[in-house]
Amino acid sequence: MQITPHIMDIARRTVDIILPPQSLLTGSLEAGAIESDIWGEVTFLDEPCCYICGFPFEFDEGSFALCGRCSIKKPAYDMGRAGFKYDDISRSLVLGFKHGGRTEGLKIFAAHMRRAGRTVLKDADYLVPVPLHLTRRVKRRYNQSALLARALSKISAPAFDPDILMRHRATSSQGGRSAASRRRNVQGAFSVREPALPRLKDANIVLIDDVMTTGATLEACARTLKRAGAAKVCALTLARVVKAAPLPT
């Protein structure tokens, strides 16, 4: 069964009817959105940061400074940026959106992704959401990455294109896995749809996802897109885990 964008729209509207707008954190009906004081608790990400992966720096170390991880081994994507830090505060925002059908924060989410991702969005051709496998998409009713990418395309230049990349193999959840296990779990899970190959050649792609944890999923997608001819693949997520690299032993 092919789920078209039209069916996705209907599914999303149905979700809105079942789950009326609520505060993403408290669930209170009267707020109808995310309370402004909650945003005061969220740690937004911006420069100064690692030029490649966007890891936030406390001090400005120069435009092209790299974090410890990227200095040792560059990721498969060219650059990565995220709107805010994934922590105890923002977890509720993200999980409410991802699993609770609470899409009322989308416009604000997209605005923060545009702010944090201005460098990667410049000159990009397509916003490509990290795809879900069909079985999970049906179960979850929507792909949260596609909703983010579509909302972002409305306020930025690159075109929303959910038809380039597919997840042909169902993968189990990345939650609770080590970095190495996450890499193995998504290895070979993605492929490029045949009709997308001509427009992918030499294209500048921005991958869109909700959270970057170790980056394993985004790296698997980036490798797939580059093998198929993309010139540049960046990653832009709503949130990211900010964890310093362990010190060498």
Residues that bind Zn ion (CB under 5 A): 50, 52-53, 55, 67, 70
Q: Please report how close the Cβ of residue 130 comes to Zn ion at its closest, in angstroms.
A: 19
CB nearer to Zn ion: pick between 80 and 158: 80
Q: How far apart are CA 83 and CA 87, in angstroms?
A: 13
Between 70 and 147, whose beta carbon lies closer to Zn ion? 70
Residue 205: Cβ within 10 Å count: 28
Q: Between residues 75 and 96, which has the closer beta carbon with respect to Zn ion?
A: 75
- Cβ closer to Zn ion: 77 or 126? 77
As measured in angstroms, the least distance from the Cβ of 219 to Zn ion is: 13
What residues does 236 pair with on adjacent strands?
81, 208
Q: Taking the complex as a whole, how short is the minimal distance between the CB of residue 226 and Zn ion, in angstroms?
A: 18
Q: How far is it, in rounded angstroms, from Cα 48 to Cα 65?
A: 9
Cβ contacts of residue 90 below 8 Å, gap of 6+? 42, 43, 84, 239
The two structure tokens encoding residue 31: 């707020």
Give the integer Cα–Cα distance in Å for 6 and 68: 44
Cβ proximity to Zn ion, 45 vs 67, nearer residue: 67
> Among all chains, which residue has been given the structure tokens 């991802």?
98
How far apart (Å, rounded) are the C-alpha atoms in residues 236 and 117? 6
CB of 53 to Zn ion, least distance (A): 3
Question: At closest approach, how far in Å is the CB of 70 from Zn ion?
Answer: 3
If the CB atoms of residues 35 and 61 are measured against Zn ion, the closer one turns out to be 61
Would you report the helix, strand and coil content of the chain in percent, each value rounded to 5? Answer: 35, 15, 45
Assign residue 141 a region: left if phi > 0, alpha if psi is -120 to 50, beta otherwise?
left
CB of 69 to Zn ion, least distance (A): 5
